[in-house]
Each structure stands twice: as structure tokens, then as C-alpha cells.
A and B are shown apart, each in its own frame.
Chain A
């Protein structure tokens, strides 16, 4: 329910969106700052390393200088070697021993003075000895051979001496000979204990460990003392050999570390040694991580505050909309009379409220007018119904048997809508004549109905004094032409029967041909038509005369029958009417003819609404005694 509110969704959206932005930008900042901090740490490390390397170089430089000076002195003063090395050792307190090892004059019988050594014991006392006391032959040992090749001096590998706990390292310089290029090796040895102490005394960054490593990757000194004298791990040595600086080592790479570390190298000039610092990455970045977490936490708190403010503001802005949506439900229920909040704001909500109010009023207006139109239509419908009753009252009964029983008429009228323009009528003319009419007014609906009413009323009035259908149509035409600016017209078939003889006179004003059913067969009666009534005051109407025999039936109809059709269907057609009538049995009543034709038409259109009015009239002449030839004649009035 809460999440359906726009305000809540907006606040949550703001919170979520900003949190994503915060985390992403924070992440970018973190990565940027991480690089900066690593660079800064590297600078710090290289400063410390540089200082340490300089100090180490100074100390070692002193040793190498002593060794080189001695080599130069001993080149010419071999015999004074024991004295020289003793005196030199005495004035260089940092040295542990000094050796002046010459290539023996006779290797078969070497003399102790070939390789004198001056030693300083751990308590500071000096003593003299000979390299001949070494376990192996000194002139074949590796340090000596290596020293012979060091014209400018070089550092030997670190080693442990018997009776000393510390690691020692010697600097050897070849002693030039008088006749041969090299006569021997001058070697000065120092203890690496001072190096270890130096590392301890360095003001290193917190958590950093310092070390000194030689070219082979062997630790000469290390803050982690257990590492001293061991070789560095494979990735460490590879980085050292490749001169990478700084290098990141992880336990996964096979390094001898428990977590990722950064190692910073500085080569010590004049040696093949390298000073280095190891920093655990976690410690390097610890501050950064802490800052990042604090920043994120503060940022989230700020976002929560912003979201809360957004929630409150949106709820206040949306409050009128909540009322409006309730009111819209009212409108949906058809309830239009309700109070609306009075909003003076000019923003969207204000406009919406005003538009809503206007819509509600307009809707009420539309509903009122729709109701009025509905009432109006109801009134029209009832008026039309009354008009229909009046129109039906204008036409005579559907069935009629003349007083002498000779003429029987049956008719039907079916307007397509409430009122229509088709008509039929019949009436007596004097004592011996009967007039029948079927007509069709142009167009449909109320105008046609009014014109039909006019026609049918005039016909009865005008026919009173006439005896010929030609006269009747002529008089009716002249009357209908008066004031007929809209050119309404009516097609009309008029027949007059002499009841005693069955003599039938027919005249047509533009109407469909009637059908005569006589002697078991049906045929059209060809009546020459005159113009439809109401158009041409000069019109004349020829008369066709025929004599009916007993049982003969004349059927008159309008085009609502011949042109009956359903949608997209062919018209029913006059020949279909002929076929329909032919199926009626001889001697049937006129009602049977009307029912047959209407039934066939209904079956043809199959329930489709009628397009046009339908009028049908069947007239049967009964005279069982009358036998004679049918008399046809055409006369012009």
C-alpha cells in the first residue's frame, strides 16, 4: 500500500539512484586515491631507502678504501705484510680481520708468511695468524681465486667464522705483482652486525620492514632476523634481477609473505647489494579504506536525509492529487456534485485541479443535454407513433368484400420505418364501380408520409365525380403539382372495376405493372404509363381496359416488393413476383395471394431489415355465372 504512493516511490528512487551514484563515484575516487597513496608511499620508501643506502655505502666505502690502499702498499712490501695488516687493523675498529694472502712462492712448501691474517676478537684484542691454518688450501679456495680477479676490488660472499655468532663479509682486492700481473689478494672483513643494527635504527614508515640483499638474492640483513642468510623467494629474485621497482608480491605468487606486500628497492652504489623496504598493502591502504567507509556512511546518511525531505515535499505537493483521484472515482460513479480543494497554485497541480473542475461542469452540462436529447427523442418517437396511427387510419381495412359479393379486396401495407410513403386505398364510385389504388411516394420518412396523406385524401375527394382512372389521375396530378417546389412525386396505379361485368380500366402514373392471375397462369398487364403525379401539369394517362372472368385476381404492388433485398444481395425482381403468384392455386382468396407474395419476399431477405416500404393489393372478381371471352381494349382519355 505504501509503495503505491508516488511520494514514497519518488523518495525511494532518489535514495536508490543517489546511492548508486555515490558508490560508483566513491569507487572511482577510491581507485584514484589508492594510486596516489601508493605513489606517496613509494616516495617515502625511496627517501628512507636512499638515506640508508648512502649510509651503508659510506661504511662499505671505508672498508674498500682500506683494502685498496693495503693492496697498493703490499705490492712492493710483501715482507712487511704482517706488520702492515696488524697496524691497519688497529686503526680501523670496524674491521674484523685483514688478510694479505700471496700466491705461495712454492706451493709444495708454503710458508705462514705467504698469507698472514690479523684478527680482532669479539672482546677487541688483536691477534696474528696464517691462512695456512684454514681447513683447505687457501690458494685453491674460491674467495682467493675470485680475489685474484678483482683488480679494483670486490665483495665476497657472506660467511660465518668459527667462534663468531655474526655474519661476516670480506672485500678483496688483487695485489699487483712486480713481475707477474697479480701477486695475491688483500682482504678486509667486516661483521654484518652493524648492518642489522642500522636497519633497526632506521626511521621507517610504520609496519615497514627493511632488508639488504646481495646480487644472488641472499638476505645480508633483514628486520625479520630469521630471513638473514636465506635466499629470497623466486618472484622476489626475479623482480630484483629485472630491476622492477616497486613490485607487488602476493602469497599466491609463491612469495614468502602472508599477505600482499609492496617491495621498494634501492641499489647501493659501489656494491652489487640492494637495500629494500617491504610494506604490507593492507597497512598502506588502511587509512584510505577507513576514510572510504566513513565517507560512504556519511553519504548514505545524507541521502537518507535528502530522501526524507523529498518524501515530505512530494507528499505535500501531491496531497491535492489524492483528493482529485478520489473525486475522479466519484465521476466514474456518475456523482458530479462534490467540493474540490481550493488551489491557488499556478503549477501543474493547480492547473489540473482547475481543469478537473471545468471538466466536471462540462460533463454535467453534456449529461443534461444528453438527457434532454433523449427526452426529445422519446417525444419524437411517440409523435412518430401517433403519426403512424394517423397514417394507418388513412388507409382502409385490409380486407373488404363489396356489398354484392362480387369484388373482394385484400391489401397489406408495411412501412420500412414508423411512417412511410407507400399507400393503397379502395372505395366505391357510385353504385356500380369500385376504385382501387396502389401508390409509392418518392423518398421515405415523414415528407413521404405527409405527401402520401395528401395524395390519399385528394384521391378520395377528386374521384367522387369521375368514372375513368384517366380522369382520376389527371385531376389528382394537377392538384399535386400545385406548390410542389421540392418536386415530390407519387407513382400510382389506379383501377376501376364495374362490379356487374368485371370490366376493369387501368391507368398508371409511372407505376409498376400489375400482375393478372387468370386461367391458372400469371402475367403482367402491360399498361402504358404516364408521368408520376406531381411533376407535369400537362400529363395524360392512357387507359387499358380488360374484362375479368370469375376467379381472376389482379395483384398491384410497389417497388418495395420488386426491389426487396438483403445487404449485397440481388433485387427480388418482378419475375420472382410472377413466379410467386403462379404458385397460388386457382380460386384462392385475395388474402392467399397477399400472404404468398409477402411470405416469399420475407424468405428471400431472410430477416434483413426492409429497405423500402411495401404495399400490396389483390383484387378478385367473383362471378360463377359469367362465361365469355376476355375483352381487351386500349382507350385514351
Chain B
């Protein structure tokens, strides 16, 4: 069982990464390597969305990788949002809280709603 990473960067302010398989001690290095190509495409202040719908398993090593990625993006004023985790993966996020629970969304719809909300806040007068 391995990890497959796909990514799409339609605009400089938003990139999406899909993970499929297992993110653990054996595969996190490949994940880090793949993301090294994706993060530079993201402008400062951009949003990195990681779609976890096909991720079957995440270990503490995988969580560390995600936390580190989040920290790197955060240092550039960006956000890392996780979307659509499977129940067993969601449970790990809930227990370990390696990333803030507020940054994990159950569905793409929920994520879009959140992003809309954030945008309105930023464009609102005096916002």
C-alpha cells in the first residue's frame, strides 16, 4: 500500500492536493517531496486545500508531516485547510489535534462556505 499525491494549482492564491492511500512513516517523505513542488506555486496568503477523501490511514509520522506543512504555509501568512477526511482519519485528527479542528472540513461545500465567509470579512468595510 503506497501513497498517491495529485495536485492542481489553478490560481496563485489556491492550490488543491489530493491524497490517496496511506500517509505513514514509510510514505511521508514522498509526501514532503511532492509538496515541495506545490507550495512555491502558492502566493503569500494563499490557501492550500488538502483533500483527504481517498486517504485511508494516517499515522503520527503523517500527522507530523501535515503539521509541518501547515506551519510552513502559515509562516507565509497562508492557510492549510483539510477537507473530507474518512471517519477513521477524522478520528485521529479529533484526538491528536495536530492541526486545529477548525481547519478540518467535512465536505467541499463546508470548505467553500468558510472561504466565502473569510473573503467577505476581508472585503467588508473596516473588516
A residues within 8 Å of B by Cβ?
A: 440-444, 485-489, 491, 510-512, 529-532, 535-536, 539, 559
Contacts and interface: CB of A to CB of B under 8 A. Distances in A.
Contact of A489 (B94, B98, B100): B98
Contacts of A491: 60, 95-96
Nearest to A534: B67
Interface in B58-73: 60-61, 63-64, 67-68, 70-71
A512 B95 contact: yes
Interface string B79-112: 0000000000000001111101000000000000
A443 B26 CA distance: 10
A82 to B, nearest CB: 139
Nearest to B101: A531
The 5 closest A-B pairs by CB, nearest first: A510-B96, A531-B97, A442-B60, A487-B68, A487-B67
20 contacts: A442-B98, A443-B25, A443-B64, A485-B68, A487-B68, A489-B60, A489-B96, A489-B98, A491-B60, A510-B95, A510-B96, A510-B98, A529-B95, A530-B97, A531-B96, A531-B98, A531-B100, A532-B96, A532-B98, A535-B98
B64 A536 contact: no
A443 B96 CA distance: 14
A491 B61 CA distance: 12
A488 to B, nearest CB: 6
B25 A535 contact: no
B65 to A, nearest CB: 8
Given A442-B60, A444-B61, A531-B96, A489 B25 contact: no
B21 to A, nearest CB: 15
Contacts of B68: 485-487
Contacts of B94: 529
Nearest to B88: A571
Contacts of A510: 95-98
Contact of B64 (A488, A511, A512, A529): A488
B64 A487 contact: yes
Interface of A is mostly: loop
Interface string B37-73: 0000000000000000000000011011001101100
B64 A489 contact: yes
Contacts of B71: 485, 487
Contacts of A443: 25, 60-61, 64
Which of B67, B71, B96, B98 gathers the greatest number of chain A CB atoms within 10 Å? B96
A530 B63 CA distance: 15
Interface in B11-38: 25
A609 B100 CA distance: 34
A491 B67 CA distance: 14
B61 A442 contact: yes
Interface of B is mostly: helix
Contacts, number: 58
Contacts of A536: 97, 100
A486 B64 contact: yes
Contacts of B98: 442, 489, 510, 531-532, 535
Nearest to B93: A510
Given A487-B71, A530-B97, 8 more contacts: A440-B60, A487-B64, A489-B60, A510-B95, A511-B95, A529-B95, A531-B96, A532-B63
Nearest to B28: A443
Nearest to B71: A487
A86 to B, nearest CB: 137
Contacts of A532: 63, 96-98
Contacts of B25: 443-444
Contacts of B97: 510, 529-532, 535-536, 539
Nearest to B94: A529
Contacts of A511: 95
B64 A442 contact: yes
Contacts of A539: 97
B68 to A, nearest CB: 4
Contacts of A529: 94-97
A343 to B, nearest CB: 49
Contacts of B67: 487, 489, 535
A512 B97 CA distance: 12
A532 B25 CA distance: 18
Contacts of B96: 489, 491, 510, 529, 531-532
A489 B98 CA distance: 8
B8 to A, nearest CB: 25
Given A444-B25, A536-B100, A489 B63 contact: yes
B2 to A, nearest CB: 14
Contacts of A442: 60-61, 63-64, 98
Nearest to A421: B60
Contacts of A488: 64
A637 to B, nearest CB: 16
A576 to B, nearest CB: 16
Nearest to B75: A485
A489 B64 CA distance: 7
Which of A441, A486, A512 gathers the greatest number of chain B CB atoms within 10 Å? A486
B100 to A, nearest CB: 7
A487 to B, nearest CB: 4
Contacts of B70: 487
Nearest to B69: A487
A440 to B, nearest CB: 7
B29 to A, nearest CB: 11
A605 B40 CA distance: 44
Contacts of A444: 25, 61
Nearest to A536: B100
Nearest to B66: A487
A199 to B, nearest CB: 108
A176 B41 CA distance: 138
Contacts of B61: 442-444
Which of B60, B71, B95, B100 gathers the greatest number of chain A CB atoms within 10 Å? B60
A443 B63 CA distance: 9
A531 B100 CA distance: 8
A488 B61 CA distance: 9
A144 B64 CA distance: 142
Contacts of B63: 442, 489, 532
B86 to A, nearest CB: 15
A636 to B, nearest CB: 16
